[in-house]
Structure 1
Amino acid sequence: MFVLETKHGRALVDFTCPLDTCSSFGFTAIDLGVPFISTTGYRSHFYAEWPPLSVMEAAAAVFCEYAEAGEMVNIKIEYRQGRNNSLPDFAKPSCTAFQGIPTQTDDKGQIGFQF
């Protein structure tokens, strides 16, 4: 488990490699008030072939691919509190003041509130 920081945001990554079946990444949103790759604040990714990258590089590539393939979306309010309570201490949001307020980021990085 580790914190992944990309230009698309931060995520807690849970990596599983059972060796006899497909491996997986679990991406959990850390900063719940900004757009993420899933409306629930969690997304899993399974694969059978290991890319020639480190675990962190592969996680970043997968996360960024999801972010760039579709629109980043706001996490639904009903999932935010549960996600916030389930984060380990080392992955707590840097600012908790806006965790319940949806935001929208445009392609220039401008952030605005959505109601």
Structure 2
Amino acid sequence: MAKHDQVLAELARALPDDREALLDAAKGAVCQFHEAAIVEDMAAFEQARLLREAITWKLNGGSSFGTNAGENSPGYVVERHCAATPGEVPMWGQRGQFIITVRGIRAMIDSGDSFGFGMCHFSFHAVDRSKPFISETGYRSHFMPFPFGYTVKEAAEAVLEEFIESQGRKVIEPRYRDREIPSWIEANDIVAPATYQETNGQGAFGF
């Protein structure tokens, strides 16, 4: 048995055998992971990451092979079980979708579960398709080193702020304006204010 599998096997010995209990333990690992990330406790962060991995390992019959082979594989089962409710800001370690607003630009954030090795990923989707965004397609994907000390929302807002500051606003091309909006976003929430305010105090019209 490889050394890493030995570590997972040791952690798995203290875990329950029941499937539902293991999934609940995964939620507990998410909470530990999130709290450790916020307070920048690296040891607790790594321990929670390994615990989540050990849970997936045990659900997969004591193997790391194929844990994400398909939608019903243990890795994806755990991810879905621990996911945040759409519209609510997830904890670190949860997949989630939520909306942020920075300088009048509203973006739906699709956040990965962030249990990767030192990285996290955000997808930015335009909510208001007829208004300026950070790309002509109304979509932007962004990988970044894990932002210890920030919440998921704070990190996403900081990235969006940087995109606006460094690259400005772009008109979404007409062919990308009719992309489907997730059902949890109410239709009347897709009407943005007519103006936005720049940091220099000057107003600008949305279009």
The answer (yes or no) to whether the contact 1:8–1:64 under 8 Å persists in 2 is no
**Gap change, CA 1:109 and 1:3, over 3 Å in 2:** same
**Residue type of the partner of 2:148?**
P
- 1:1-115 equivalences in 2 (<5 Å): 1-21=97-117, 22-82=119-179, 85-90=180-185, 92=187, 93-95=189-191, 108-111=202-205
> Could you report, residue by residue, the CA deviation over 1:32-60 in whole angstroms, capped at 9, with x for unpaired residues?
11110010000011013323110000000
- 1:7 positional shift: 1.7
CA–CA distance in structure 1, aligned partners of residues 122 and 102 of structure 2: 15
Q: Distance in 1 between matches of 2:204 and 2:146?
A: 38
Q: Which runs of 5+ in 2 are unaligned?
A: 1-96
CA-atom RMSD in angstroms? 2.6
Higher RCO by CA contacts (8 Å cutoff, separation 6 or greater): 1
Identity of aligned residues (%): 32
Higher strand share: 1
Alignment TM-score, normalising by the size of structure 1:
0.76
Q: TM-score, normalised by structure 2?
A: 0.45
Give the unaligned 5+ runs of structure 1: 97-104
Q: Which has the larger radius of gyration?
A: 2
Residues 50 and 17 of structure 1: CA distance in aligned 2, closer, same or farther (over 3 Å):
farther
* Structure with the larger helix share: 2
Distance 2:157 2:127 in 1: 15
